Chains A and B, each alone.
Chain A
């Protein structure tokens, strides 16, 4: 993984705790920046609770998903399970290298 690669950690559903997946701790250990995308109806308190519950670093962003990110999530969710979560690898030109579902 190139050092310029960013990991975008997309949260579409809060029901993530049971899933065998890369945990945020793994991202932190690799010292990679992460951006969390959440549903766009999250209130400020929701985002604050989200940051608190998952112990998200202060320098990691939490953003409400816009249309473009919804489109990407839809690409990931080909089987239309609807509940899955995704992380996305981007290169330094912000081109998608890989989409992976967990």
Chain B
């Protein structure tokens, strides 16, 4: 939980998807719908540290520096906002991670984990006293990724009672651990990622190495996907795990290969950022076997106003289409905005 004010700057991964393209995976370009009317509704985000969607298609945009969660409809109209700076019940203090279930919205901040219902009513709070990289809620269970504890995932109940720990963390080579210039952050860096949960399973998506792990709720590793076809990731892993600092491993604060991930209806959506000359890419994985089923390409912004800062997304399915809501910061105005895209046909994925 250290870090106090945590700026949520996303470092763009200027890398290619490699031969994922060359495999026989269908690829589709998303259709731009609109920019949500947040600015017209006088909602000016200072940062965005979380973006979630509920089953009704509403968005929950969490602002780290305003200590507030904004509930918006699909058009960007404000439905409700909750949270304010403070340490009391329902107050937030630099919220940094969020997760949503059918009827609960969880926020990790410097106070601990606050639990709200989807109307913003404060329900409960518990404290964990350890830094966290991600949170996910499934029914009555809360999964938290602590970079500083022994196991990858700690499972709590909604009252903060520690139930179990599971998952093997990356083994940080001793030479890196000793000589990494930002020693206090190395475990945090290795385990940057997102926890997702679906029926009977918890997933860990490594932002740094592109790995996807699937556990059952008892902590057994069921499946693992490594994007070994991607040369950039192969080289990164080699530098991190094989070469070693003394032999010239080029290790620093590395860009993330994925910057956000979501779970929806048996599918895992992974957002891979492109730079200004590239498109952002969504990989869609089957949650059962972790196979890549589809690639969605986000159209490049015509007006060249995009920066990748604060890039997060939420996804819903409406009828036959997936609808994506992607946040970004406009380079022209500096405003943090949310773009709405949709796919043409969901059935191709299923």
Are chains A and B native binding partners rather than an unrelated pairing? yes
Q: Which of A41, A42, A45, A50 contacts B161 (CB 8 A)?
A: A45
Kindly state the separation between the CA atoms of A43 and B160 in the bound complex, as whole angstroms: 9
Which of these binds chain B: A10-18, A64-72, A94-102? Answer: A10-18
When A14-B1, A17-B1 are in contact, do A46 and B160 touch as well, CB less than 8 Å? yes
| A40 close to B (CB within 8 Å) | no
Return chain A residues, CB-CB under 8 Å to B159: 43, 45
Kindly state the separation between the CA atoms of A79 and B62 in the bound complex, as whole angstroms: 31
| A61 close to B (CB within 8 Å) | no
> Which of A42, A46, A49, A54 has the most B CB atoms < 10 Å from its CB?
A49
- A41 (CB) vs chain B CBs: closest residue: B89
- Smallest beta-carbon distance A21→chain B, Å: 13
Q: Which of A17, A18, A42 contacts B127 (CB 8 A)?
A: A42
Which size bracket describes the interface of B in this complex? 10 to 19
Which of these binds chain A: B45-53, B128-136, B308-316? Answer: B128-136
Q: Mark B154-169, 1 if CB is under 8 A from A, else 0.
A: 0000011110000000
Within 8 A of A (CB), among B1-17: 1-4
- A19 (CB) vs chain B CBs: closest residue: B2
Kindly state the separation between the CA atoms of A69 and B127 in the bound complex, as whole angstroms: 21
Task: Decide: B2 and A54 in contact? CB cutoff 8 A.
Answer: no
Return chain A residues, CB-CB under 8 Å to B162: 45, 48-49, 52
Kindly state the separation between the CA atoms of A18 and B112 in the bound complex, as whole angstroms: 17
Task: Decide: B4 and A15 in contact? CB cutoff 8 A.
Answer: yes
Kindly state the separation between the CA atoms of A15 and B131 in the bound complex, as whole angstroms: 10
| B213 close to A (CB within 8 Å) | no
Q: Which of A18, A41, A49 contacts B129 (CB 8 A)?
A: A49
| B126 close to A (CB within 8 Å) | yes
Q: Mark A16-55, 1 if CB is under 8 A from B, else 0.
A: 0110000000000000000000010111011011101110
| B114 close to A (CB within 8 Å) | no
Return chain A residues, CB-CB under 8 Å to B161: 45, 48
Kindly state the separation between the CA atoms of A1 and B159 in the bound complex, as whole angstroms: 41
Kindly state the separation between the CA atoms of A50 and B130 in the bound complex, as whole angstroms: 9
| B111 close to A (CB within 8 Å) | yes
Within 8 A of A (CB), among B80-130: 87, 89, 110-112, 126-130
- A11 (CB) vs chain B CBs: closest residue: B129
> Which of A17, A41, A48 has the most B CB atoms < 10 Å from its CB?
A17
Task: Decide: A14 and B131 in contact? CB cutoff 8 A.
Answer: no
- A53 (CB) vs chain B CBs: closest residue: B129
- Smallest beta-carbon distance B162→chain A, Å: 6
Kindly state the separation between the CA atoms of A14 and B94 in the bound complex, as whole angstroms: 13
Return chain B residues, CB-CB under 8 Å to A43: 126, 159-160
Q: Which of A14, A18, A53, A54 contacts B111 (CB 8 A)?
A: A14
Kindly state the separation between the CA atoms of A39 and B86 in the bound complex, as whole angstroms: 14
Task: Decide: A14 and B112 in contact? CB cutoff 8 A.
Answer: yes
- Smallest beta-carbon distance B1→chain A, Å: 6
Return chain A residues, CB-CB under 8 Å to B4: 15, 18
Task: Decide: B110 and A49 in contact? CB cutoff 8 A.
Answer: no
Return chain A residues, CB-CB under 8 Å to B112: 14, 46
- Smallest beta-carbon distance B165→chain A, Å: 10
Kindly state the separation between the CA atoms of A23 and B2 in the bound complex, as whole angstroms: 15
Q: Which of A18, A39, A53 contacts B128 (CB 8 A)?
A: A53
Task: Decide: A49 and B1 in contact? CB cutoff 8 A.
Answer: no
Task: Decide: A15 and B127 in contact? CB cutoff 8 A.
Answer: no
- A52 (CB) vs chain B CBs: closest residue: B162
Q: Which of B2, B111, B126, B131 contacts A49 (CB 8 A)?
A: B126
Kindly state the separation between the CA atoms of A15 and B129 in the bound complex, as whole angstroms: 8
Return chain A residues, CB-CB under 8 Å to B110: 14-15
Kindly state the separation between the CA atoms of A14 and B162 in the bound complex, as whole angstroms: 18
- A54 (CB) vs chain B CBs: closest residue: B129
- Smallest beta-carbon distance A65→chain B, Å: 13
| 10 additional contacts (CB under 8 A) given A18-B2, A18-B4, A43-B160 | A14-B110, A14-B111, A14-B127, A15-B2, A15-B110, A39-B87, A45-B162, A46-B127, A49-B127, A53-B130
